[in-house]
Amino acid sequence: MYDEHYTRLNQYRSLWILVFFDLPTETRKERKIASTFRKKLLDDGFSMFQFSIYMRFCASRENAEVHTKRIKNNLPEHGKIGVMQITDKQFGMMELFYGKKLIETDKPSQQLELF
């Protein structure tokens, strides 16, 4: 038998990266910069959680650091960007609502990494 505590993908070792951003979009140039930042997040495997919140699952802290470093390398000159890492266990305890109605959250499946 194996102990779940020592498995490679457990809820305490795996992380979610959440990126929060508020970028200026007053001018055409600012909209282009904001769009480019968003596209780079999507290209790096992030998905939209809400309009200016993107998220990505990472199997380990080391993997999360790689993606966090990519975000830092692509920061626009203006605007506010926040990056937060939480464990899969913490992410699973989130309650989501649509209006006053509680939405059942999907259990994240284990993802297979091929290198």
| Binding site feature residues for Mg(2+) | 22
* Burial (Cβ within 10 Å: 0-12, 13-18, ≥19) of residue 49: middle
- Give the annotated binding-site residues: 22
What distance in Å separates the CA atoms of residue 67 and residue 85, rounded to the nearest whole number? 11
What distance in Å separates the CA atoms of residue 6 and residue 10, rounded to the nearest whole number? 8
- The span from the first CA to the last CA of the chain, in angstroms, equals 27
What distance in Å separates the CA atoms of residue 3 and residue 63, rounded to the nearest whole number? 23
